Amino acid sequence: MIKNLPTYITITFVLTTVAMLALFIWIIKSSLSEPARKKSKFIFFGLTIWLAVQAVLTLKNVYNTDTNSLPPKIMVVGILPPILTILLLFSTTKGRQFMDSLPLKNLIYLNLVRIPVEIVLYMLFINKAIPELMTFEGRNFDILAGITAPFVAYFAFIKQKIGRNGLLLWNIICLGLLINIVVNALFSAPLPIQKFAFDQPNIAISNFPFSWLPTFIVPIVLFGHLSSIRQLVKYKVVLQSQEKKASDG
């Protein structure tokens, strides 16, 4: 764990991670596909185990040892498995049906978690655990996705003022914001691939509980955007019944 870091920062991030898990399970339980809803308990159990595994690895300093190894351990053990899981969902019929059954409006609300995440990142910067470029005072504008999410959901699904193209554009922009901070975070970490922030590197992601950011929160947000973009590209009418979407696969 990071030395001399105020406890409230750690608690805030743990609660943010729990909120992300709860939101994601809520989205699955809101699915218009009964088979998907039935999987919510299994998915909850699997994600809880994943978080526990990442916590143990981090507390055992697995990600803090042999930091010169290529590829970095956190990328192989923490980031690659979720990415492969998302690719598996895209490559299988049942996986695509699962993604298509998730309500678009709820997937948008998932981005609200990005607000407390960005606040925690700023507090970590103040405590010299990450560089300024990873905050909204630097190169990170990811908080805009969280701030705009409820307005986008309201005007798209209640007022119906934002159509398919608007939702698609918003998701693409927010996906770009996510990729931007991920790239800057990885290249700011004290790893062989480091390119930025040598005076104040990103040490947070290899310490508990902040390793949950690249190994859990970011992959869930990525999954949400990719699922939304898939639905918006494949189906011409955004607000149509999603029962048809799920059955079409």
pTM, full prediction: 0.91
Query: What are the average pLDDT values for consecutive 10-residue runs of the chain, which has 249 residues?
Result: 89 97 96 91 97 96 79 89 96 94 95 97 94 90 95 93 93 96 86 75 89 96 96 70 47
Query: What does the pLDDT read at residue 43?
Result: 96
| Distance separating alpha carbons of residues 110 and 133, to the nearest angstrom | 24
CB 97 within 8 A of CB 249: yes
The DSSP 8-state label assigned to residue 158 in this structure reads T
The phi and psi torsions of 33 (rounded to 5 degrees) equal -110, 120
Query: What does the pLDDT read at residue 99?
Result: 94
Query: What does the pLDDT read at residue 49?
Result: 98
Closest CA relative to residue 223, chosen from 133, 106, 117: 106
Query: What does the pLDDT read at residue 246?
Result: 45
Residue that the structure tokens 């909120």 belong to: 19
* Six-digit token string for 82: 């979720």
Query: What does the pLDDT read at residue 197?
Result: 66
